Amino acid sequence: MASLSLSRHNQLFSRPIFHRPKPNFFAPTKIRMSLTENAPSIAVVGVTGAVGQEFLSFLSDRDFPYRSIKMLASKRSAGRRITFEDKDYVVEELTPDSFAGVDIAFFSAGSSISKEFAPLAVDRGTVVVDNSSAFRMDEKVPLVIPEVNPEAMQHIKLGTGKGALIANPNCTTIICLMAVTPLHRRAKVLCMDVTTYQAASGAGAAAMEELELQTREVLEGKSPTCKIFKQQYAFNLFSHNVSILSNGYNEEEMKMVKEIMKIWNDKDVKVASTCIRVPIMRAHSMNVKLQFERPLDEDTARDILKNAPGVVVIDDREANHFPTPLEVSNKDYVAVGRIRRDLTQDGNHGLYIYVCGDQIRKGAALNAIQIAELLL
Ligand SMILES: NC(=O)c1ccc[n+]([C@@H]2O[C@H](COP(=O)([O-])OP(=O)(O)OC[C@H]3O[C@@H](n4cnc5c(N)ncnc54)[C@H](OP(=O)(O)O)[C@@H]3O)[C@@H](O)[C@H]2O)c1
């Protein structure tokens, strides 16, 4: 039986470049404090993936209480072993019967898997927190960032025997709105234009492996292996690798547009975005141009952001020190800098800000765990 500890992407995750020692799920590290009888039973769907691994990290780091935990993935991983907080688990193949007795299921196995299995879980009384795009725009499904719109899920309760679906927004949407919403609350955003610089990790564990492999191949003078991405990624950048839609925007860009309107419950806000893949291993960055209804000067904006939950301001003009993907990798906060007046707009009605966040953590797994914490 293969041990998951040997998998390539876990080696990638444990690199010192990420600044934070990753928890080792494969060796006992500490006594589990929150494994309690009255706590919910949990399932992690896609546990062997980039986001799935972070779910485990957060369940542990945040002492999330649970009675039992099911590790679910595809048939390929069935039988692999994971040691998580003193206990050995065997990864099980996801099937329609996986959710009997499960109170909360975290899904991160892709949209088609969510579409097929999340409704089955809900029918069995499970509250599903879904990381995929499958249900985000479904009117009946709340799309939640706990710091932004926790009220959207207040009707969903645990322990009633009634299942429900809650969607995690797209990672770029989460990182952007963590920084922009506190400013929106003060001055009301009328228009937002976002340009993103997105890391390999946003495309999953295999994409991170491909970037590393390509980097080595190019340095060795070989032609790069292109399996996940259709073109050379190392030492290059390109428009996000999802489909282009009839309006010329790609799927990632239109996700941001639609999700921001839904989360803010604002059909009038004008949003446009340009999403670019850059050869960064982990953490997304974005430049955001904002137009406000009410005036907002840069000092006030900086103060608002310094007091915003989950936001850290890194805006040292003297030292030319602003947020970088490397600094926010494996961090739970979103970093904001380059807070400056937009010279193309009159008075104090326009600002630029630059935002970086680890999209596997706050952009995916952490946000989902925070949603589950609201349920508790
Ligand atoms: N990466 C991010 O930053 C990010 C951010 C927000 C949302 N998301 C979303 O989260 C989901 C997963 O992303 P990821 O980056 O973690 O991808 P990933 O690293 O490629 O992992 C995919 C996971 O899904 C599992 N899986 C694949 N096919 C399956 C099947 N038929 N039945 C059960 N499990 C199956 C895989 O299991 P095996 O190991 O057995 O193949 C693996 O555990 C996607 O919907 C993605 O859009 C990702």
* Pair (92, 184) in one structural domain: no
CATH number reported for the structural domain that contains residue 21 in this entry: 3.40.50.720
- The residue nearest atom 2 of ligand 1, judged by CA position, is 202
Which residues lie closer than 8 Å to 82 by C-beta, 6 or more apart?
Answer: 4, 25, 26, 47, 56, 71, 88, 89, 90, 91
Whether 366 is in a domain gets the answer no
Whether 167 is in a domain gets the answer no
92 Cβ below 6 A of ligand 1: no
Identify which of 10, 25, 51, 174 to mutate to test ligand 1's pocket (most ligand atoms within 8 A of the CB).
51
Helix (H, G, I), strand (E, B) or coil at 48: coil
Q: Identify which of 249, 202, 246, 254 has the alpha carbon closest to the alpha carbon of residue 228.
A: 202
What is the CA 79 to chain-centroid distance, rounded? 27
What CA–CA distance (Å, rounded) separates 341 from 288?
Answer: 12
* Pair (83, 214) in one structural domain: no
Identify which of 3, 4, 48 to mutate to test ligand 1's pocket (most ligand atoms within 8 A of the CB).
48
Q: Which of 76, 110, 134 is the last residue of a domain?
A: 134
Tokens standing for 95?
């099937």
Give, in degrees to the nearest 5, the angle at Cα 368 between 195 and 113. Answer: 90
* Pair (231, 339) in one structural domain: yes
Q: Identify which of 88, 90, 42 has the alpha carbon closest to the alpha carbon of residue 65.
A: 42
The per-residue pLDDT for 346 is: 87
* Pair (61, 117) in one structural domain: yes
pLDDT tens string, the chain, 376 residues long: the values are 333 332 333 433 433 222 233 333 333 334 344 567 789 999 999 999 999 999 999 999 999 999 999 999 999 999 999 999 989 999 999 999 999 999 999 999 999 999 999 999 999 999 999 999 999 999 999 999 999 999 999 999 998 989 999 999 999 999 999 999 999 999 999 999 999 999 999 999 999 999 999 999 999 999 999 999 999 999 999 999 999 999 999 999 999 999 999 999 999 999 999 999 999 999 999 999 999 999 999 999 999 999 999 999 999 999 999 999 999 999 999 999 999 999 999 889 999 999 999 999 999 999 999 999 999 9
* Pair (47, 193) in one structural domain: no
What CA–CA distance (Å, rounded) separates 355 from 204?
Answer: 21
Q: Identify which of 187, 372, 201 has the alpha carbon closest to the alpha carbon of residue 279.
A: 201
Q: Identify which of 341, 153, 359 has the alpha carbon closest to the alpha carbon of residue 256.
A: 359
Considering the candidates 171, 176, 275, 356, report the single residue annotated as catalytic.
171
Helix (H, G, I), strand (E, B) or coil at 56: helix
CATH number reported for the structural domain that contains residue 334 in this entry: 3.30.360.10
Whether 150 is in a domain gets the answer no
120 — phi, psi (to 5°)?
Answer: -65, -40
Identify which of 74, 128, 166, 196 to mutate to test ligand 1's pocket (most ligand atoms within 8 A of the CB).
74
Burial of 186 (0-12, 13-18, 19+ CB in 10 A): middle
- The residue nearest atom 1 of ligand 1, judged by CA position, is 202
Residue range of the domain that includes 258: 173-361
Count of other CB atoms within 10 angstroms of residue 234: 18
- Whole-number Å distance, alpha carbon 118 to ligand 1 midpoint, is 14
142 Cβ below 6 A of ligand 1: no
The per-residue pLDDT for 2 is: 35
- The residue nearest atom 38 of ligand 1, judged by CA position, is 74
- The residue nearest atom 36 of ligand 1, judged by CA position, is 46
Q: Ligand 1, residue 110: give the atom nearest the CA.
A: 45
Whether 369 is in a domain gets the answer no
What's the total number of domains in the chain? 2
User: Cβ distance 285 to 197 under 8 Å?
Assistant: yes
* Pair (189, 312) in one structural domain: yes
Residue 171 appears among annotated catalytic residues: yes
Residue 321 appears among annotated catalytic residues: no
User: Cβ distance 238 to 170 under 8 Å?
Assistant: no
* Pair (224, 350) in one structural domain: yes
* Pair (228, 94) in one structural domain: no
Instruction: Transcribe 162-230 into DSSP letters.
Output: --EEEEPPPHHHHHHHHHHHHHHHHH-EEEEEEEEEE-GGGG-HHHHHHHHHHHHHHHTTPPPP-SSSS
Whether 252 is in a domain gets the answer yes
Residue type present at position 48: T
The per-residue pLDDT for 29 is: 36
User: Cβ distance 287 to 195 under 8 Å?
Assistant: yes
Whether 142 is in a domain gets the answer no
* Pair (295, 346) in one structural domain: yes
51 Cβ below 6 A of ligand 1: yes
The per-residue pLDDT for 34 is: 58
131 Cβ below 6 A of ligand 1: yes
